Amino acid sequence: MFASRFTRRALAALALTLSPVAALHAAEPIRLVVGFAPGGGVDTLARVTAQALSKELDRTVIVENKSGAGGTISADYVSKSQADGNTLLFADTSLLVAPYIYPALRYDLQRDFAPIGMVGQSDLALAVPGDSPVKTVAELIEAIRKAPPQTETFASVGVGSVHHLGGELFALQTKTELVHVPYRGGAPASQALASGEVSMSFASLASSIGLANSGRIRLLATLSERRFPGMPDLPSVAETIPGYSVTPSLFMLAPQNVDPALIATVSKALENSMQQKQVQDAFLAQGSVAGYQDAQATEKWLGEETERWANVIKTAQLEFKQ
């Protein structure tokens, strides 16, 4: 009996050793590391995702915040974590721009990480003050062209943010001149717009809806190439400026050298999670759209999107000083 019990235990231990997915059933929770503070949009969506993944994997998934430096602190931390699948990164498009803002980064996004999958998109919006006579994107472009040089300003959540680059891309594609005014976060940027400190803002849809509903600001369009499903009457900028698209995307990465079979398991759990109605509704409530893509598609997107923003930065002759 003892020998039989020992044999069963030995075989079980050997199976755990050989199985690349065995780590998913370990006692230690999976840590989903987020590069932004608790309570923000990315953090909220990470928690929605973590809860869904916990059920799919039958494993505790917790969100760990390591905020600062545009998400690069969290990326650096995960890049140096053990490749056992217990530490994963929940990131957004800002990491693709980070090397131009922080040239001394100690990690490389493509060299030090393995994609797990796309999570979704967080919509941005173009808005003007509530008392502005401008009511459409076309009218805004006309107003900018008629204004004296260096007088039309736009607010964003900070230098080098996707919101900032959205404004620069708008100026490039419309051949207009805009002056960037950075703020420390979405709330002060939206308040500045409402008070008339700036001519327009490129901000998250979620942080803009409240002021828009009160009439203090006016939403002109989403920055995505499509309309936001939660506000189907709000047009997209692309309907006026073909090809314009600025939508921060959310994705998950693992440290390089994590077993591909383990990544495939987490990726499949992510796919199932993003198909759940309660998850999709939670994303919509945050001005976002849940949308899964597999690891291969994510890797392709990372390369193309990195090149795209590099070209925008070069064409606009942007310099980021810390």
The SS3 of residue 233 is coil
CA-nearest of 13, 54, 55, 15 to 31 is: 54
Residues 137, 141: Cα–Cα separation, whole Å: 6
Is a pLDDT exceeding 80 seen at residue 10? no
Q: What is the pLDDT of residues 193-228, one digit of tens each?
A: 999 999 999 999 999 999 999 999 999 999 999 999
Q: What is the pLDDT of residue 89?
A: 99
Assigned CATH topology for domain 2-122+248-315: D-Maltodextrin-Binding Protein; domain 2 (3.40.190)
User: Would you place residue 320 in the very low, low, confident or very high pLDDT band (cuts 50, 70, 90)?
Assistant: confident
Q: What is the pLDDT of residues 74-128, one digit of tens each?
A: 999 999 999 999 999 999 999 999 999 999 999 999 899 999 999 999 999 999 9
Is a pLDDT exceeding 80 seen at residue 277? yes
Instruction: Give the mean model confidence (pLDDT) for residues 126-146.
Output: 98
Dihedral, 232, 175, 249, 189 alpha carbons, nearest 10:
-80
Element (H, E) at 198: none
User: Would you place residue 13 in the very low, low, confident or very high pLDDT band (cuts 50, 70, 90)?
Assistant: very low
Sheet holding 200-204, edge to edge: 179-182, 153-156, 200-204, 124-129, 217-222
Q: What is the pLDDT of residues 177-196, one digit of tens each?
A: 999 999 988 889 999 999 99
The boundaries of every CATH 3.40.190.150 domain in the chain are 2-122+248-315
pTM of the full structure: 0.89
Instruction: Give the mean model confidence (pLDDT) for residues 291-314.
Output: 96
User: Would you place residue 23 in the very low, low, confident or very high pLDDT band (cuts 50, 70, 90)?
Assistant: low
Buried/exposed code over 250-270 (b: 16+ C-beta within 10 A; e: otherwise): bbbbbbeebbeebbbbbbebb
Which residue do the tokens 């650096």 mark?
76
Is a pLDDT exceeding 60 seen at residue 14? no
The boundaries of every CATH 3.40.190.10 domain in the chain are 124-239
For domain 124-239, give the CATH superfamily: Periplasmic binding protein-like II (3.40.190.10)
Q: What is the pLDDT of residue 321?
A: 74
Q: What is the pLDDT of residue 12?
A: 41
DSSP 71-90: GHHHHHHHHTS-SSSSEEEE
Q: What is the pLDDT of residue 55?
A: 97
Q: What is the pLDDT of residues 28-77, one digit of tens each?
A: 899 999 999 999 899 999 999 999 999 999 999 999 999 999 899 999 99
CA-nearest of 276, 283, 224 to 42 is: 283
Q: What is the pLDDT of residue 185?
A: 86
